[in-house]
């Protein structure tokens, strides 16, 4: 549920914070007051696009923040899969736009727009004119059917997707390997050359690392010997100025007085240890120098071997391990080409078998879809009758298509809104206002199936009035019993059903024009309903009508909608 919206420096909004309630939240206001800006700010925080010109002229940046309360364990799991972890059941989305850059954050951590959109899609669903128009899209219609029957359809869709991916992999492999006899012999010859070159090299894992280590040592032999000789002189016992000789002399002097003060005993022990360590160091250094021997032939063989390995790396891989993987891959490829007919036959059988598995899964998916389509078309039709489609006839028609990861079905919602007329696709029959009502009917049916906690409706009241508007308001209130609904409207019938009613107003202070939003109490809500009913002239009779409409709406919510 969206519990808080904070907007700053966006178009006409200086700074506003709105706390939304559970149930049906209604926003009303004069034309041009800023209702679309408020909706746009929510879309912006969910990763939508915005022109820099939307930042207020007197500001350097615009800020939109959304705070969501998340209670559904399924949504929490999906958020955690996106590495978003609700804090005390809350998720915060924040977007700050400046002239040259924007900053996006989820729970205070910087994120990408793609992450913001993915998280937003789990928390809120916005329905404006664009979303209503999506009902004309056959793919969207199939998605609605699958969402309606997801308990049985979703697991089969996953099986279809897995079967399709396996089929596509075999299909690509089968067709990539198609070649004539000349091509096959040419590739066999090339593979044999590569494999022979690699086998003759007889590379060992880690060989290049060890050879480079030896080569580095031999290449720097002179420098190593000269440096170690100097170290031996500095630390040895042969030169009076050597550390060993001077340390030994110091130990001899200290030993002569250590019995005069018992506190000198530990110092003598420490100096004895140092003398022993230095003696051990010099002995090992002497052994190292005595064993050092530069072998010209060994150096030549190492260089020659490294040249070969580097040559193979340039052709086959960046390391010995990569080269060996390449060799294995080419040996397998050669084996396939040497028994090409048998290999193609085996691959063709696998491809055919996988295709049959895919077809079987698609048939199961089609079966479930058709079962749920019958239920869905009947329930949508019933909902549309409630929404004042008095003579509606709706059906979901199936047509086959090529095998895809989503099955082999295409559907089209067909409708007739007048007696005696044949059913036609939505786009050829219904208006924009009718589309919005059909979307509302669909959302009513899916209200207890999808897990998105907040729905926003804009332009749901396009082209309706009177009894139809009353029916739409009842549907909105019904959905509000299942989840949070935020609706922007200009119709009093819909506004009267509000569980929380907000007014959006344009104000002016000197030369400054800005948009403000406030939560209305019962009295202010009635006055706002009167404005919607009566326009500029709000008489006592209009106020009484508005009060009656509000009372009737409350009775409706407390009786029929709760039953």
The pLDDT score that the predictor gives to residue 410 is 92
Average pLDDT value over all residues in the chain: 84
Q: In angstroms, rounded to a whole number, what is the distance separating the alpha carbons of residues 361 and 369? A: 12
Q: How confident is the model over 67-95, as a mean pLDDT?
A: 89
| 270-309: burial string, b at 16+ Cβ within 10 Å, e else | ebeeebeebbebbeebeeeeeeeeeeeeebeebeebbeeb
Q: How confident is the model at residue 154 (pLDDT cuts 50, 70, 90)?
A: very high
Q: What is the pLDDT of residues 20-74, one digit of tens each?
A: 999 999 998 887 667 778 778 888 888 877 777 788 887 888 899 999 999 888 8
Q: Which two tokens stand for residue 245?
A: 């000789």
**Angle between helices 138-148 and 150-176 in degrees, nearest 10:** 130
Please tell me the total number of residues recorded for the chain in this structure.
563
The residue that leads in pLDDT, 284 or 22, is 22
The H-assigned helical ranges of 177-256 are: 181-201, 207-219, 221-235, 243-255
The residue that leads in pLDDT, 314 or 337, is 314
Q: In angstroms, rounded to a whole number, what is the distance separating the alpha carbons of residues 559 and 551? A: 12
């Amino acid at each position: 549920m969206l519990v808080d919206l904070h907007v700053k420096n966006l178009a006409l909004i200086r700074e506003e914070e709105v706390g939304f309630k559970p149930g049906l939240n209604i926003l009303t206001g004069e034309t041009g007051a800023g209702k679309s800006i408020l909706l746009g700010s929510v879309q912006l925080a969910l990763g939508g696009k915005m022109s820099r010109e939307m930042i207020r002229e007197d500001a350097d940046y615009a800020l939109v923040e959304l705070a969501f309360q998340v209670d559904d364990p399924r949504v929490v799991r999906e958020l955690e899969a996106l590495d978003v972890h609700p804090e005390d059941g809350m998720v915060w989305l924040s977007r700050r736009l400046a002239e040259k850059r924007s900053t996006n954050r989820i729970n205070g951590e910087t994120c990408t727009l793609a992450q913001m959109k993915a998280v937003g899609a789990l928390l809120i669903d916005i329905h404006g004119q664009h979303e209503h128009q999506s009902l004309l899209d056959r793919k969207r219609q199939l998605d609605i059917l699958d969402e309606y029957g997801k308990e049985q359809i979703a697991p089969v869709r996953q099986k279809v997707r897995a079967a399709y991916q396996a089929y596509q992999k075999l299909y690509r492999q089968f067709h990539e390997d198609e070649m004539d006899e000349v091509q096959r012999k040419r590739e066999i010859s090339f593979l044999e050359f590569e494999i022979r070159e690699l086998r003759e090299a007889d590379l060992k894992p880690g060989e290049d690392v060890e050879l480079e280590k030896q080569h580095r040592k031999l290449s720097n032999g002179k420098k190593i010997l000269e440096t170690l000789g100097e170290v031996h002189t500095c630390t040895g016992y042969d030169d009076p100025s050597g550390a060993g000789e001077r340390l030994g002399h110091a130990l001899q002097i200290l030993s002569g007085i250590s019995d005069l003060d018992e506190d000198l005993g530990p110092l003598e022990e420490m100096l004895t240890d140092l003398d022993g360590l230095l003696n051990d160091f010099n002995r090992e250094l002497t052994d190292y120098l005595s064993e050092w021997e530069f072998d010209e032939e060994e150096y030549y063989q190492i260089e020659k071997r490294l040249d070969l390995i580097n040559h193979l790396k340039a052709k086959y891989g960046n390391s010995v391990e990569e080269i060996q993987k390449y060799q294995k891959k080419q040996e397998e490829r050669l084996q396939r080409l040497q028994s090409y007919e048998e290999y193609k036959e085996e691959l063709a059988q696998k491809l055919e078998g996988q295709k049959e598995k895919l077809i079987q899964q698609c048939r199961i998916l089609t079966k479930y879809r058709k079962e749920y389509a019958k239920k869905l078309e009947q329930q949508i039709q019933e909902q549309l009758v409630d929404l004042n489609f008095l003579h509606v006839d709706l059906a979901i028609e199936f047509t086959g298509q090529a095998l895809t990861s989503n099955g082999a079905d295409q559907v089209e919602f067909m409708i007739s809104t007048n007696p005696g007329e044949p059913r036609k696709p939505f786009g050829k029959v219904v208006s924009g206002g009718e589309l919005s009502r059909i979307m509302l009917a669909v959302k009513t049916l899916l209200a207890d199936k999808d897990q998105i906690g907040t729905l926003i409706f804009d332009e749901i009241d396009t082209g309706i009035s009177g009894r139809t508007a009353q029916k739409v308001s009842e549907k909105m209130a019904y959905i509000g019993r299942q989840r949070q609904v935020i609706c922007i409207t200009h119709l009093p019938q819909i506004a009267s059903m509000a569980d929380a009613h907000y007014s959006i107003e344009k104000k002016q202070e000197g030369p400054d024009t800005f948009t403000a939003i406030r939560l209305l109490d019962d009295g202010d809500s009635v006055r706002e309903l009167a404005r919607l009913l009566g326009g500029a002239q709000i008489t006592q009779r209009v106020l009484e009508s508005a009060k009656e409409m509000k009372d009737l709406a409350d009775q409706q919510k407390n009786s029929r909608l709760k039953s």
